[in-house]
Amino acid sequence: MADWTTTDAIEDLTGEAVTLPELKQAQAIIMLFAGTTTQASDAGLIASRNLRHLAWAVGWQAVWMTEHPDVYTNVDSTSFSQDGVSSSQAHANAHLLAPLAKRCLDRLSWNLAPLQAYKARTYTDTGTRDSAVRDDAQPWIPLP
C-alpha cells in the first residue's frame, strides 16, 4: 500500500515539515472523506488528476492536524459562543478537515460529476428513490 504523497512532497507543497506518522494519520482521514483507498490507486483505478488532488489533500490535512491536535478528541457542535463572541462552522466537518484539503476533495471527479450534471440539468429524474421495486424496473443511466 503506497502513500499518495511523501513527507518531502508535503514540505515542498506547504513549506512545513511533517513526520511519517502525521502523514499516515492525515491519509487515513482523507481516505475516509474521499471514499477511496490507496489500494484503489495501487491498482491503477484512480486517474492522475484525482491522485494529485488526493496527494495535496493529504499534505494540507497533515499540516493542519499539527495545529489541531484535538482532531481525534473534539466534540461535534454546529456553533461556538464564548464571552459574547460566536462562530459557526463553514461546513459539517470543519473541525475534522483542513479547508484546503476539503477544496481538493470537492474537486475529485466522482464528487464533481453529479454536481455538474445537476447544474447542467442533463440528468434524467427517475422519481422517488424510496421504492426498491420501482428502482429495479428503471434502466441504468450513467452520469454524463
Choose among 52, 28, 30, 31: nearest CA to 40: 31
Q: Which of 25-29, 67-71, 124-128 has the lowest mean pLDDT?
A: 124-128
pLDDT given at position 83:
85
User: Coil, helix or strand for 127?
Assistant: coil
Q: Report yes or no on 144 lying in a domain.
A: no
pLDDT of the residue at 131: 42
Q: Give the pLDDT confidence of 33-81 residue by residue, as tens digits.
A: 999 999 988 888 888 889 999 999 999 999 999 998 888 777 666 667 7
Task: Write down the H helix ranges in the chain.
Answer: 7-14, 20-34, 38-42, 48-67, 99-106, 109-120, 132-137
pLDDT at 69: 82
Does 105 reside within a domain?
yes
**In this predicted structure, what is the pLDDT of residue 119?**
58
Q: What's the pLDDT band for 1 if we cut at 50, 70, 90?
A: low
- Any domain includes 108: yes
Q: Is 113 contained in some domain?
A: yes
The answer to whether residue 99 sits within a structural domain is: yes
Residue 24 in domain: yes
26: containing domain: 7-72+92-124+131-137
Q: At what angle do helices 20-34 and 7-14 cross, to 10 degrees?
A: 80
Number of Cβ atoms within 10 Å of the Cβ of 41: 20
Grid cell 455538474 is found at 116
Whether the pLDDT of residue 20 is over 70: the answer is: yes
Question: How many domains would you assign to the chain?
Answer: 1
Please check the confidence at residue 117 and state whether its pLDDT lies above 60.
Answer: no
3-state DSSP call for residue 80? Answer: strand
Percent of the chain whose predicted confidence (pLDDT) is above 70: 69
10 residue type, one letter: I
User: Do 109 and 115 touch, CB atoms closer than 8 A?
Assistant: no
Q: By mean pLDDT, which of 4-13, 72-81, 113-122 is the weakest?
A: 113-122
- Is 112 contained in some domain? yes
| Euclidean distance between CA atoms 139 and 46, whole angstroms | 27
Higher pLDDT, 85 or 23: 23
